[in-house]
Chains A and B, each alone.
Chain A
Amino acid sequence: MKGRALAILLVEDNGDHAEIIRRSFNSHQVANTIHHVTDGQAALDYLLRKGKYKDAKSSPRPDVILLDLRLPKVDGLEVLEKIKQTKELLRIPVVILTSSDADLDIARAYDFHANSYLVKPIDFRKFTDLMKDLGFYWLCWNVNPFVQGTPG
């Protein structure tokens, strides 16, 4: 369906969770590369191509962003807000992937136009199932907003 490997930006400070996510996507049927950052500032630098992320080749614009909420340096909601207010970035789907099921977090995420809000399952098996389905949905079904006039 798609010729190039799809790029995922994973913004996650929990090393164990990041490992599960990486492993799930490595075994995915859809070819992809995961770019992983561990704090909100690095996420913004990556997306805005600042500092060590200046090179577009090694820091390609992601096809989907998986964003945790509780992050060091710059909080996840702030990262989300910035993405959705930036012309070159607002079309990228942002999937909140967090341990929080607090009503306020959910409401605010949608206020800032998160595309989707997912709560990380505690069960390992459920977590990997979620990653598989998430990857397939956002990388295969959802239309990439930057690919113009995709042939049928």
Chain B
Amino acid sequence: MILLVEDNLDHAEIVMRSFKNQQMEHPIVHMTDGETALDYLLRRGEYANPDKSPRPDLVLLDLRLPKVDGLEVLKEIKQTKELRGIPVVILTSSQAGNDVKMACEYHANSYVVKPLEFTKFTELMRDLGSYWLGYNVNSTDQGNSA
């Protein structure tokens, strides 16, 4: 399952369509702001029940988000033992050097820029899916061990 944190509904639509076109079906949970994403991941409020908030295998995270900014979400994920094993791929329109730098410093697993062209966008989603959900091994450490 992929957690997509994206406030731009057109971009979210493209992401979801791109993944639908692939051979492997990856369920996508879509959040439109940083605060809800954190509630989900940290199992707070309406997401307190783990059955309602299964751990994603991959987080696609935009940077410019309402309520809580993407970098803050990233920081929180990477500082939380039960979450830091989940790959977080920054998926953004920004190519600003400083954004890339900060994302790396907060330990984003990867940083990719949204292509403008739809075909390229689908290729990116295909490669993202096959790399992070096919090849990459996530940690199953839920922070329960000592």
Contact = CB atoms under 8 A, between A and B. Distances in A.
A146 to B, nearest CB: 9
Given A141-B128, A143-B100, A116 B107 contact: no
Contacts of B124: 141
B135 A115 contact: no
Interface residues of A, number: 31
B26 interface: no
Given A118-B135, A152-B95, A152-B116, A142 B111 contact: yes
Interface in A114-138: 115-119, 130, 133-134, 136-137
B8 interface: no
Contacts of B85: 106-107, 110
B139 A107 contact: yes
A149 B97 contact: yes
Interface string B74-118: 000010000011010000000111001100110101111100100
B84 A110 contact: yes
A134 B135 contact: yes
Given A90-B105, A91-B104, A110-B84, A119 B137 contact: yes
A48 B13 CA distance: 44
Contact of A118 (B78, B107, B137): B137
A148 interface: yes
Interface in B116-137: 116, 124, 127-128, 130-131, 135-137
Contacts of A106: 85, 137-141
A16 interface: no
17 contacts: A84-B107, A91-B101, A103-B139, A113-B78, A115-B110, A117-B136, A117-B138, A117-B139, A118-B135, A119-B137, A137-B110, A143-B100, A145-B100, A145-B101, A145-B111, A149-B95, A150-B95
Interface of A: 84, 90-91, 93, 101, 103, 106-107, 109-111, 113, 115-119, 130, 133-134, 136-137, 141-143, 145, 147-150, 152
